[in-house]
Structure 1
Amino acid sequence: MKIIVLNQSEINRIFSMEEAIQADKDALKLYSLGKSNVPLRYNLDVPQHEGQSLYMPGYVADANALGIKIVSVFPKNIEKGLTSVPATMVLVNSETGEVCSLIDGTYLTRLRTGAVSGAATDILAKKDSKVFALFGTGGQAESQLEAVLTVRPVELVKVYDISPERAKDFAERMTVLFGEKFSVTITAAASAEEAVADADIITCVTTSSKPVFDGRLAKKGCHINGVGSYTPAMNEIDEYLITHADKVYVDTRNGVLNESGDLIVPIQNGTFRAEQITGELGEVIAQKVEGRLNDDEITVFKTTGTAVMDVVTGQRIYEAALEKGAGSIIEF
């Protein structure tokens, strides 16, 4: 049995953001059509070390994708000089049941999470969107930025973080990475209000427990991606925005309604009902639900992540590795 091991640099060499966006679109479409088997992730507490180990399995027959992502959250790892959220994708050959690839799960998560915002932006944002506001500069921020730049002709990016120094440093680093490639200006915003002003697209990728900007400031026609809130206690999207947006979409109803404070809070407050969700993004792709109808509609997309994106994207990366001879090989 041969197992291909793929790290971040190998994945970057053989697999593009455009391909990741397409993989997420395909994955969510199959999920919404009921053509995947994705149980809720299983969480094992490790109290002796103040950690948690999460297991996210999935099988998508039409994509020949089978596997499980193992994600751990061990905050004390920082004291040991290790990442606090290590992850590995274990890909399984759907014909034989043999493990066929081990993929850097931390990078895979960043890639598919950025790509799903790119997919939502491509499907829901105005075609001529020029101004992009990005809230948060953590590990997920780079892929979020690249994905939006990949699908829209953005000319100006305004980055906001609660730390002005982090925002400035991120803007400078991203200018080197993407400024010339996408012909875009990337700057640090001094305030949330400055970031949102005139923004056609807004992405929030923070761990905030309170809204990061005033929803009343979102202009007509704006598209908003909510990425950071993945627990009921996290709430980065303003309740006003959820309740006054023309359309609210999710990656999966099950995930968002059980895990994200962005929707759980307004539902608990009685200002929003689960039935008001316009649809899953996969339903729009499958033409089961309508998308944006005009340039004045405000659209919101909320994602909490799902293993269906991990296994489908992981399978596409593995196929690219086979085609291009990438990765290291372990033989059992």
Structure 2
Amino acid sequence: MASKPNPINSENPQNTNANLSSSINSPIFISESLHSIVSHHSLIRHFHSSLPTVSSTINNPIRQNYPLSPSSSLLLMPSWSSSPSLPYIGVKLVTYFPQNSTVNLPCVHANYVLFNSTTGQPLASVDGTVLTLYRTACVSGLASKILARNDSKVLVMIGAGNLAPHLIKAHLAANPSLQKVIIWNRTIEKATDLAENLRGRDEYNGVCFESNESLEEIIELGDIVSCATNSEVPLVKGERLKAGAHLDLVGSFTHTMKECDDEAIRRGRVYVDNEAALMEAGELVGAFERGVIGKEDVGGNLVELIKGERVGRRNSEDITVFKSVGSAVVDILAAQLVYETYLKNRG
């Protein structure tokens, strides 16, 4: 008999397994908002508990990138697990059409397809764009939970795009001591609009949201500084980081992109989400080439930090830097939580 997925935190595993069994012959298209299925709290918890136990069982080939035109492309990101606790195959399909900005459409669209790894049968299709926003933000949230000071008060958010509100929510979920969020964007109106949108929501328990035009001024205030931009010019100057700050770098994924300067890398103790960051992230590749630090100076990756195999923050004066580039490992774990929670709620 084919093995069935084990639902997460299910109060009634028997009923949920019945749902899983009945769903095998009828793939689910999860069209409802992921906001009603998972939260940043729940996904951070899931990553924290699952990454140490199943990450080594997940096959994660290099993503395939097919140019469709001089500017547009199709990307395929497959993964599959050999663990009985994660009986899935997942594929994220991503299209990149930068010209879409001229017709008021997102440049990136994605879909995530989940299969049963025992039978190969399709199980579900999920909005891959939103799933990626959630998993990216929650990786950063989990890292800041481990690396940031536990008395952090001020979060500085650099960038006000689609990922920014997710990063803010993830850092707030992971760091309940945060009291203020300051948002900066090249177009200040976008930062102001985001701050206004978040301000006054009951879920944030009185957290203050504001925008500011002076990037250098607010970096000096940040206990956690989170960056989500496609900048090729360093935005965070290391000399401006306060002692004890945690710097979260999310945006860059090519050698030409960089969100901080060499001084931030030099002053900080650097950690990565996975080894691909050492080869892809512009901040790190450039720092290696210029001899600012060596690869051997990187403090460790996220799984090693969770397991306690690498030392994170050593004291309240340490500056920590976390660089993420994403991976199919966290994609499949995020899809697992969405799928199994959806089935549990439906049943």
Q: Determine the structure 2 residue equivalent to 1:7.
A: 31
Output the TM-score relative to the length of structure 1. Answer: 0.92
Shift of 1:262: 1.2
Which one of the candidate residues 235, 254, 267 is aligned to 1:231?
A: 254
Distance 1:27 1:311, change over 3 A: same
1:250–1:303 Cα contact (<8 Å) kept = yes
Q: Determine the structure 1 residue equivalent to 2:162.
A: 139
Q: Determine the structure 2 residue equivalent to 1:41.
A: 63
Q: Which runs of 5+ in 2 are unaligned?
A: 1-24
Question: Helix, strand or coil for the counterpart of 2:27?
Answer: strand
1:27–1:308 Cα contact (<8 Å) kept = no
Q: Determine the structure 2 residue equivalent to 1:240.
A: 263
Q: Determine the structure 2 residue equivalent to 1:267.
A: 288
Are residues 1:104 and 2:135 paired?
no
Q: Tell me the distance in 1 between the aligned counterparts of 2:202 and 2:272.
A: 30
Q: Determine the structure 2 residue equivalent to 1:306.
A: 327
Higher mean C-alpha displacement, 305-314 vs 23-32? 23-32
Shift of 1:80: 4.8
Q: Determine the structure 1 residue equivalent to 2:7.
A: none
- Equivalent residue runs for 1:1-332 within 5 Å: 1-7=25-31, 9=33, 11-26=34-49, 28-30=51-53, 34-47=56-69, 50-62=71-83, 63-152=86-175, 153-176=177-200, 178=201, 181-245=204-268, 247-253=269-275, 255-325=276-346
Amino acid at match of 2:35: N
Shift of 1:27: 5.2
Q: Tell me the distance in 2 between the aligned counterparts of 1:261 and 1:281.
A: 19
Residues 17-73 of structure 1: per-residue CA shift (max 9 Å, x gap): 1111123334543576x332101111011017x311111111233333321101110
Amino acid at match of 1:194: E
Structure number, greater radius of gyration: 2
Q: Determine the structure 1 residue equivalent to 2:3.
A: none
Amino acid at match of 2:192: K
Amino acid at match of 1:301: F
2:265–2:292 Cα contact (<8 Å) kept = no
Amino acid at match of 2:185: D
Distance 1:26 1:89, change over 3 A: farther
Residues 163-194 of structure 1: per-residue CA shift (max 9 Å, x gap): 11111111111214x46533200100121122
Shift of 1:252: 0.6
Question: Helix, strand or coil for the counterpart of 2:284?
Answer: helix
1:211–1:236 Cα contact (<8 Å) kept = yes
Higher mean C-alpha displacement, 218-227 vs 61-70? 61-70
1:90–1:102 Cα contact (<8 Å) kept = yes
Residues 242-278 of structure 1: per-residue CA shift (max 9 Å, x gap): 1221x2110111x212211010111111212111111
1:71–1:88 Cα contact (<8 Å) kept = yes
- Number of residues of Structure 1 aligned to a counterpart in Structure 2: 320
Q: Tell me the distance in 2 between the aligned counterparts of 1:231 and 1:29.
A: 27
Shift of 1:207: 0.5
Shift of 1:238: 1.8
Distance 1:31 1:252, change over 3 A: farther
Q: Aligned-residue CA RMSD in angstroms?
A: 1.7
2:154–2:222 Cα contact (<8 Å) kept = yes
Q: Determine the structure 1 residue equivalent to 2:13.
A: none
Q: Tell me the distance in 1 between the aligned counterparts of 2:97 and 2:198.
A: 29
Question: Helix, strand or coil for the counterpart of 1:86?
Answer: strand
2:271–2:301 Cα contact (<8 Å) kept = yes
Q: Determine the structure 2 residue equivalent to 1:330.
A: none
Question: Helix, strand or coil for the counterpart of 1:47?
Answer: coil
Shift of 1:78: 3.7
Q: Which runs of 5+ in 1 are unaligned?
A: 327-332
Q: Determine the structure 2 residue equivalent to 1:329.
A: none
Residues 202-244 of structure 1: per-residue CA shift (max 9 Å, x gap): 1011100011121111111111110001111110022111122
Amino acid at match of 2:248: N
Q: Tell me the distance in 1 between the aligned counterparts of 2:54 and 2:69.
A: 34
Residues 87-139 of structure 1: per-residue CA shift (max 9 Å, x gap): 00011112211110000000000000110110001111111111111100001
Q: Which has the higher contact order (CA 8 A, sep 6+)?
A: 1
1:179–1:186 Cα contact (<8 Å) kept = no
